[in-house]
């Protein structure tokens, strides 16, 4: 689980953006002061849940008197109609925090859901699904957490985590060999070095120079199979580029260790989760 120290700044910024300078003028005008309600957050489509901590914090920052009772956990699969959580507290505060809570919960659950789909597509192959740095600014930790909730793994969190030499680095450095040699001189003994290659000739050159991991970019399953044979266990193999749930299985069967997919975080559709008022005594509570 992510610590509150990481989650709170993002949730607080979202609430500040939504409240503006005058607060929730609709709830304050329409709902009597002191009124209390119980609401449920329910899935409207099947999916995998992620982001319950962020949703709960959105309500708590508006009013600590709000109590959210979870009926599922992050990483759990839900069906349409399943109640995710019951939330009780001052009615004005519930409505004020509603959209921010649902924004986080729906967005992160959407990421977890699509990740789970790709993970299922490669089940039994030995390949792991990982995300990239193609994340929403300010939400990287949360989005990468959602990938893990869906059964995937994380690539770099930041540029400082590892050396990843990509095509533009290679072009400016003057080639694969000089790029790797320069990286090795500057990287500490704890820093891994990965290089992106587009062809098998580039891969052979990288392996001759020595590297910890190779990013095999936009290669067909057939070429990936040959690439894995060339590497022969001397480095981690990572496939990337245009991989979909339909093609992930074939890519994984080529024998790569990792499949990195940017759209897990930058293009995942929101999982539709609604918040509805329930009168006391309702059988649906």
What digits encode the pLDDT tens for the residues 79-109? 999 999 999 999 999 999 999 999 999 999 9
Catalytic residue, chosen from 56, 98, 194, 196, is 196
**How much of the chain exceeds pLDDT 70, in percent?**
98
User: Does residue 122 have a pLDDT over 60?
Assistant: yes
Beta strands in the chain (DSSP E): 36-43, 47-48, 67-70, 77-78, 83-90, 128-130, 163-165, 193-197, 213-217, 236-240, 258-260, 273-277
70: annotated active-site residue: no
Under the banding of pLDDT at 50, 70 and 90, the label for residue 283 is: very low
Asked whether 196 and 132 are in contact (CB, 8 A), the reply is no
User: Does residue 277 have a pLDDT over 60?
Assistant: yes
194: annotated active-site residue: no
Catalytic residue, chosen from 77, 99, 177, 278, is 99
User: Does residue 150 have a pLDDT over 70?
Assistant: yes
User: Does residue 282 have a pLDDT over 90?
Assistant: no
Query: Using CA atoms, how far apart are residues 186 and 8, in angstroms rounded to an integer?
Result: 36
192: annotated active-site residue: no
Q: Encode pLDDT of 8-53 as tens digits.
A: 999 999 999 999 999 999 999 999 999 999 999 999 999 999 999 9
Largest CA distance in the chain: 73
Q: Six-digit token pair at 142?
A: 């949360």
Chain mean pLDDT for the chain: 96
In sequence order, what are the beta bridge partners of 129? Answer: 259
Report how far apart the first and last C-alpha atoms of the chain are (Å, whole number): 27
Asked whether 47 and 77 are in contact (CB, 8 A), the reply is yes
């Amino acid at each position: 689980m992510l610590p509150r120290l990481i989650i709170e700044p993002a949730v607080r910024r979202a609430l500040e953006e939504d409240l503006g300078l005058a607060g929730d003028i609709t709830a304050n005008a329409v709902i009597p002061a002191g009124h209390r309600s119980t609401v449920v957050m329910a899935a409207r489509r099947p999916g995998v849940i992620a982001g319950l901590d962020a949703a709960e914090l959105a309500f708590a920052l508006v009013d600590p008197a709000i109590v959210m009772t979870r009926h599922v956990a992050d990483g759990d699969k839900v069906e349409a109609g399943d109640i995710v959580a019951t939330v009780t507290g001052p009615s004005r505060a519930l409505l004020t925090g509603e959209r921010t809570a649902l924004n986080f919960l729906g967005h992160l659950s959407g990421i977890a859901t699509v990740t789970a789909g790709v993970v299922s597509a490669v089940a039994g192959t030995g390949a792991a699904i990982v995300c990239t740095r193609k994340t929403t600014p300010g939400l990287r930790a949360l989005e990468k957490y959602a990938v893990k909730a869906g059964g995937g793994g994380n690539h770099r969190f930041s540029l400082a985590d590892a050396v990843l030499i990509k095509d533009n680095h290679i072009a400016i450095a003057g080639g694969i060999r000089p790029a790797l040699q320069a990286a090795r001189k500057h990287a500490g003994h704890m820093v891994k070095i990965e290089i992106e290659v587009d062809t098998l000739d580039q891969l052979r050159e990288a392996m001759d120079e020595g590297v910890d991991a190779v990013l095999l970019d936009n290669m067909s399953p057939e070429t990936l199979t040959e690439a894995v044979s060339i590497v022969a266990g001397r480095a981690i193999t990572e496939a990337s580029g245009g991989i979909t749930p339909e093609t992930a299985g074939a890519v994984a069967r080529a024998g790569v260790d990792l499949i990195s997919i940017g759209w897990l975080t930058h293009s995942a559709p929101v999982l539709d989760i609604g918040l509805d008022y329930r009168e006391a005594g309702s059988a649906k509570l």
